[in-house]
Amino acid sequence: MAMYWLLQGCQPGDSLVFHYSGHGAQQRNYNGDEVDGFDETLCPVDFETQGMIVDDEINAALVRPLPRGVKLHALIDACHSGTALDLPFLCRMDRSGQYRWEDHRPRSGVWKGTSGGEAISFSGCDDDQTSADTSALSKITSTGAMTFCFIQAIERGQAATYGSILNSMRSTIRSTGESMGAGGGAVTSLITMLLTGGSLSSGGLRQEPQLTACEMFDVYAKPFSL
């Protein structure tokens, strides 16, 4: 209901923001509209009795009704969140900052984009990865790694374009993960796994923030603006 509320009565010139920080998961896709065969999901507090919120539902509520002249930014800090909005295009970026757009449009031809508006999503990790809560970034308290790095990129003046903010987030998480991997032992890794629901590894943070959009664009030329 909150997702539908966000779009109610929106007018050209409006800028909408949807931020979710919590648990995410995957479930088998049966209608053939997912490249990897899995739907991405969000897990609300009552998911055990009411079910998870599937990316098809999120797309129907937040993306498809978006009218021309309205902009939506979604920040999804959750496990398996790469394509949580089911947007048609994913920006695949490597460690050097080079990127290419992947086409995630369903083979069925069903349009998962907007009704003329602009939808862009930053997510905590790729579809097959987990997102961490960690105190390694703030040094004070446990925070969602993706959310912390997103805010930090803006505060550090590294958010001029969508490419620069994504690069900043990925670099910060990667360097933090490498330092955690160098200084952590089996006990630390086990505690991290238990707290985050992630997999046991000695490499610290293994997530890579992702950018998806309703249309392809030059990520280093397009100014970032909420």
Catalytic residues: 23, 79
The dihedrals phi and psi of 107, each to the nearest 5 degrees, come to: -65, -20
SS3 state at 149: helix
**What is the C-alpha end-to-end distance of the chain, expressed in Å?**
23
List the one residue out of 81, 65, 68, 48 whose CA is nearest residue 150: 81
CA distance 189 to 205: 10
Q: Which of 219, 226, 224, 220 is nearest to 157 (CA)?
A: 224
Let me know if 106 is exposed, middle or buried by CB neighbors in 10 A (0-12, 13-18, 19+): middle
